[in-house]
Amino acid sequence: MERHFEQELDKLNKRILKMGNLVAEQVHMALTALLNGDIEIAGQIVENDKKVDKLDVKIDKLCQRIFALTQPVATDLRLIMSALRMNNDLERMGDHAVSIATKVDSVSEYRDIIHELQIDEVVQMTDMIVNDVITILNSRNTAFVKDIFDLAGTIDEKVKVASARIIDEMMHKSEVIVVATQLILILTAIERLAAYSTNIAESIIFIVEGRLVKHAKLNSGATLQDEDSDPSLSVEPDPEEGE
């Protein structure tokens, strides 16, 4: 029975990593298609989303089976709980990649505006944060999680600036309303990709260290090791850590 349990956990780990790699590739393709105006790649992303959905269901069912047949505790329980959350976050990231892909056609002729608004820089940072968090998911090295939080904060600020400029253009030039609306929706998807990346980073900390870190209140000067001295960090101990 114990051997079977270990095999199920190993399968869960592998499926989460597979999901992470698949979604990271979807995001990369979507952002590349956006920058290059590549409608063909955008179409592939929509088709590949079926694989993401299928794997999402498999992971959910596996977690349910492990819960039903065993009584996981401590680190094993943390892994299963986090797997469920990360699976949901990754599935949503896949949806946002599709959302971006479906808008490539409508903005493909406005790449000069994308560059002028520095959306291309935000796109590159978003591609980086997704790739980096999947790398950390594979290595379980929490030393680099703070970088994820910092980069997400930078992306959020740049999205706000670009969105404000777009809205200002919409108010003064009615002819740009259609493309501007599409760019706002793309920027919203980009911001969510960064936010879900920080969710996954939080889950990795929980798996490895048994700590619940609320990144939303993490300021740029804080570190993940100084939560006792930083009231802006909300950290809760794992009640089973002492077992």
What pLDDT shows up at residue 215? 52
Mean of the per-residue pLDDT values of the chain: 87
**Does position 128 have pLDDT exceeding 70, yes or no?**
yes
Q: Tell me the CB-side half-sphere exposure of residue 34, using CA atoms within 13 A.
A: 32
Closest CA to 133 of 103, 161, 157, 155: 155
**Does position 39 have pLDDT exceeding 60, yes or no?**
yes
Q: Which domains occur in the chain, in start order? A: 2-223 (1.20.58.220)
What pLDDT shows up at residue 191? 97
| CB contact at 8 A, 91 and 60 | no
**Does position 87 have pLDDT exceeding 50, yes or no?**
yes
| 235 beta partners | 213
3-state secondary structure of 75: helix
Q: Check residues 219 and 21 and name the one with the higher pLDDT.
A: 21
Residue 110 per-residue DSSP state: G
Q: How confident is the model at residue 169 (pLDDT cuts 50, 70, 90)?
A: confident
d(CA 238, CA 243): 10
Q: How confident is the model at residue 71 (pLDDT cuts 50, 70, 90)?
A: confident
Q: How confident is the model at residue 177 (pLDDT cuts 50, 70, 90)?
A: confident
**Does position 175 have pLDDT exceeding 80, yes or no?**
no
pLDDT tens figures, 206-242:
999 988 887 544 444 444 544 443 433 333 444 444 3
**Does position 112 have pLDDT exceeding 50, yes or no?**
yes
Span 56-68, average pLDDT: 93
Lowest mean pLDDT among 42-46, 65-69, 80-84: 65-69
What is the crossing angle of helices 177-209 and 2-36, to 10°?
A: 150
**Does position 27 have pLDDT exceeding 90, yes or no?**
yes
d(CA 154, CA 164): 16
**Does position 1 have pLDDT exceeding 60, yes or no?**
no
The percent of residues in the chain predicted with pLDDT above 70, rounded, is 87
